[in-house]
Structure 1
Amino acid sequence: MIVIEQQPKRVEVTVYAEFTLADYKEFENAVNFAIQFEGPVDLWFDLREMADFTLDVAWEDIVFARAHANDFSRIAVLTHSQWVAWSAWLSQIFVHAEMRVFDEEVEARAWLAEEEGLA
């Protein structure tokens, strides 16, 4: 299950339990909408409550990242899992955005706010 919040120039996603292909499609729709009307956006991924993801999500992430290589400014990934952190870094191969992995929400939000001139 995911919860998506649209912010100005940012899409925020929180994943709970298993991240499914249906969830990923919902994420894609939100991002495509934001990009269409705002240009490149920041992404916020809170994966601290994610228990697992399906194999088709991993594949869809690669396909989506390649198709949107220049559509993101910054990507903040919030996780306590070293495996999720490594897979986030692997995704960075396909995306030309600055990506950072954080343990603490305050640090991740501060980093995104720096770009906006709000920090």
Structure 2
Amino acid sequence: MINIEHRDRLVAVTVFGEFALADYKEFEELVNYKIQFSGPIDLLFDLREMAGFTLDVAWEEIKFSRQHAHDFRRIAVLTDDQWLTWSAWVSQLFVDAQVQVFDDETEARDWLGSAAETVE
């Protein structure tokens, strides 16, 4: 299950339990809409409550990242899991956005906010 918050050029996703393909598709749809009307956006992924993800989500994420390699400015990942930290760094290979891993939500949002200030 996911919860999505969005405003201006920010999309924030919180994942609870298993991240399933239907959840990812919901995320994709919103991001595609925001990119179409706002241009490059910032993402905040809160994965602290994620129990895991399905294999089809992993594959969809790779395809989506490659399609949108230039559509993200900054991506903040909230996690304390070393495996997810490592995978966040690997995802930088597919996008030209700045990717940063955080364990504190306020720091993550401040970092994303500093990017928004330079654009406006």
TM-score (norm 2): 0.95
Identity %: 64
The number of equivalent residue pairs is 118
1:100 corresponding residue in structure 2? 100
Extract structure 1 runs of 4+ deviating beyond 4 A.
Answer: none
Shift of 1:60: 0.6
Separation in 1, partners of 2:104, 2:28: 25
The aligned counterpart of 1:55 is: 55
Deviation of residue 116 (structure 1)? 2.2
1:110 maps to 110
Q: 1:51-109: CA deviations, max 9, x gaps?
A: 00011111110000000000000000000101111111111100000010001111111
Q: Over aligned residues, Cα RMSD in angstroms?
A: 1.0
1:113 Cα offset (Å) = 1.3
Gaps of 5+ in 2: none
Local SS of the residue matching 2:16: strand
User: Structure 2: which amino acid aligns with 1:54?
Assistant: T
Q: Quick one: distance in 2 between partners of 1:38 and 1:116? A: 12
1:7 Cα deviation from its structure 2 partner: 1.1
